[in-house]
Structure 1
Amino acid sequence: MARLEDVAREAGVSASTVSRALSRPGMVAPATLERVRAAADGLGFRVNPAARALITGRTGFFAMLVPDLENPFYAASIAAAQDLAAQRERRLLIAVTDGSAQREQAAVHDLEEQVDGFILLSPVAGTTELKDLHRRKPVVVINRKVPGLTSFTVDTPGGLARIYDRLVELGHTDVAYLAGPPGSWMDRRRRATLAEHAGAPGLRVHIRGPVPPSFTEGARATADLLATGCTAILAYNSLLALGVMFELGRCGVRVPHDISVAAADDMAFAGLPGEPITAVHAPAPDLGRHAVAALIEMAGDASGRRPAGRTLPTTVRLTATLAAPRSAGQAGPVTAGGERTGRRDDPAGQAVDPR
């Protein structure tokens, strides 16, 4: 195993210069830094995190807490964050919380002394708890806005609104929204956007959920969605949408002839063969990159300055999974065979929240 002295000899510099180059690169001339890094790479030398922490007070590690690894939106953010961290000579420790406040708190407790900061993806802790953590270690939040913290989100509510507008243009008056996980900040924003549309005369949004954002839950919820009498279904994420599409096909309900379908992201079916599902395209990788860049800036700035967060724009891909509903005489709940029964109205004409 290569030692610090081996790198110094290979680069033709002192061991102290190698130490500065690897722990405080800004204090070393660019040509010397390049020579030291080339020597370290050639010899396979890696800095001991514990030793670096003693010298600099920093470990070079960040913790990224995520609800799960199955959601492709999260996976894309994680992969991009890891890539940028590696380019900046940092490492990410990934902790899966299952969307549980208790597991999230336990992960913070276990990792706080081992890392230089936290990236929290869709955290469920309260605002006070998150701010308390930020007072101890730099924190960046993804997919949720927290006052006083650097937060990065994408405008999926605006994208869903564009899809809903298109459904209205096509003549739909009853739309079902399959909501996301309990406690989701982003899901509340999407519900609020759809509720604004449902306030218009004659427009109804039937909200079902919350449910875990998975393929299985999408398939399981489909019968209840059809029972609302909706002519279109919007899903919280692409995994739910795929589950809905699978169950519709299994039951003989045709998309879009019998019912239109769209999703709030396109991550799970990007690149799949066949007709694309109408969806919001959200730049999930950019969230990971922005979060790492902001955390590096905060970890290296003793002044406590906080980089500004951003809401990233989205685009919408409208495809043939949206179509005009059947004539008014055929409207009503779709059965498993694709037929419609008598119409089942929602007298409130507003967004319905079953919780």
Structure 2
Amino acid sequence: MPGGRVKKAPTIVEIARDLGVSSSTVSRAFTAPRLLRPETVERIRAAAAERGYIPNVHARALSTGVPRTIGLIVPDIANPFFPPMIRAAQRAAEETGHTVLIADTDGDVEREKRIIARLAAQSESLIIASSRLPSDELVELTDRRRVLFINRDEPDTARILVSARDALSQGVNRLLELGHRRFAYVGGPAGSWSDGERHGAVLAALQGSGAHLHSFRIESGTYEDTMVAGDEILSAAPTAVIAFDDVIAHGVIDLLHHRGISVPQQISVVGCDDVLALTTQPPLASVALKAAEAARLAVRIVVEGQVSEMLSPQRIALQGELVERATVAAPPEQPRR
């Protein structure tokens, strides 16, 4: 301003001195708030805002040569399961001055390798959801990069599992109580950790029940291919269908409607993810998963500590919850012989 004096923004040192805390404490309030008491973080951030302090998100990049970014890799950004995860990761990253770079592998292993190589050069750390890479390559990757996996249960790695096991077991038991004895599991892409866990949970829950299970796979995981597989699914004559996710469950409900089969009066349907449940007719019974919570936790883990250090192995499983809705009912009475 002409004839005036430009007011300089306060520094971390000045804020720390005014509040009677260390400079590192002020820094952590912006870069690693989980390490401090919530009231301390609130006091520091309020004081900083009052004094016009703006965290320099580029300082760490200048000193380390690595920008304050996190690479988030997903197999299918169009799948309704992933947008809430992406949104939660972005918001959690913003709180620590980070930016999230998002990439979609389209479920292709070679594409995933290329994306990992490219984002690793641009990011402090990587969060990889539902990786399709072979186990040995995943372990090797953690030896060279700061990486955390979501929905890939690989030993000796840092991973968070968005688990449907307990809730699906509850759902199968509920169907058994209602009298169902002929089940179909309509799975998703081969090699998916989530599909393996969900199929395994259904198998385990049915063990010893005397019920019959027929398993199918929609490799693409799409609504369209589920509709195409109608003849195959109906050939098992199920009274209850459990789908890998809500997209496949939606396809199952619509193909049943098109064949003149009533849901749930003739066939019950249970989905997984709880992302499309209220858009189906009738509303879909599904397993509500903690994808957003997993993303927030993943960001907190990767931003803490030294960028130069690899993440310590740990396994965190977040169990989902069964939400019963109108697609589940007792099976139709079987004719007496």
TM bin, normalised by shorter chain, reads 0.7 to 0.9
Of 289, 292, 317, 1:311 maps to 317
The C-alpha deviation readout for 1:195-232, integer Å capped at 9, x for no partner, is: 22443252111100142222212222233211111111
Any conservation in 2 of the 1:152–1:287 contact (CA below 8 Å)? yes
Of 284, 290, 301, 2:297 maps to 290
Distance (Å, rounded) in 1 between the aligned partners of 2:151 and 2:158: 11
Query: 1:318, CA displacement in angstroms?
Result: 1.8
Distance verdict in 2 for CA 1:295–1:203, change over 3 Å? same
Distance (Å, rounded) in 2 between the aligned partners of 1:281 and 1:275: 17
Distance verdict in 2 for CA 1:208–1:288, change over 3 Å? same
Q: Which runs of 4+ in 1 moved over 4 A?
A: 12-17, 26-33, 301-305
Query: 1:150, CA displacement in angstroms?
Result: 1.3
Query: Which amino acid is 1:236 matched to?
Result: F
Query: Which amino acid is 1:282 matched to?
Result: L
Distance verdict in 2 for CA 1:164–1:302, change over 3 Å? same
Distance (Å, rounded) in 1 between the aligned partners of 2:50 and 2:65: 22
What corresponds to 2:9 in structure 1? 11
For 2:302, what is the secondary structure of its paired residue?
helix
Mapped pair 1:54 → 2:54: no
Any conservation in 2 of the 1:97–1:103 contact (CA below 8 Å)? yes
Any conservation in 2 of the 1:262–1:278 contact (CA below 8 Å)? yes
Q: TM-score, normalised by structure 1?
A: 0.78
Query: 1:177, CA displacement in angstroms?
Result: 0.6
What corresponds to 1:38 in structure 2? 52
Any conservation in 2 of the 1:235–1:263 contact (CA below 8 Å)? yes
What corresponds to 1:254 in structure 2? 262
What corresponds to 2:80 in structure 1? 72
Any conservation in 1 of the 2:165–2:198 contact (CA below 8 Å)? yes
Distance (Å, rounded) in 1 between the aligned partners of 2:147 and 2:315: 12
Any conservation in 2 of the 1:262–1:277 contact (CA below 8 Å)? yes
The C-alpha deviation readout for 1:213-269, integer Å capped at 9, x for no partner, is: 222122222332111111111110001111111222222211011111111221123
Distance verdict in 2 for CA 1:82–1:220, change over 3 Å? same
What corresponds to 1:278 in structure 2? 285
Segments of structure 2 that go 5 or more residues without pairing to the other structure are 1-5, 16-22, 31-42
Query: Which amino acid is 2:295 matched to?
Result: G
Of 124, 137, 143, 1:129 maps to 137
Mapped pair 1:148 → 2:151: no
What corresponds to 1:350 in structure 2? none
Distance (Å, rounded) in 2 between the aligned partners of 1:187 and 1:213: 11
Q: How many residues align?
A: 312
Distance (Å, rounded) in 1 between the aligned partners of 2:44 and 2:184: 59
Mapped pair 1:25 → 2:27: yes
For 1:319, what is the secondary structure of its paired residue?
coil
For 2:107, what is the secondary structure of its paired residue?
coil
Q: TM-score, normalised by structure 2?
A: 0.82
What corresponds to 1:334 in structure 2? none
Distance (Å, rounded) in 2 between the aligned partners of 1:202 and 1:216: 33
What corresponds to 1:335 in structure 2? none
Mapped pair 1:107 → 2:121: no
Query: Which amino acid is 1:11 matched to?
Result: A
Mapped pair 1:324 → 2:326: no
Query: 1:105, CA displacement in angstroms?
Result: 0.3
Q: Superposition RMSD on alpha carbons, in Å? A: 3.1
The C-alpha deviation readout for 1:103-143, integer Å capped at 9, x for no partner, is: 11010111211111110000011222112222222111111
What is the percent sequence identity of the aligned residues?
29
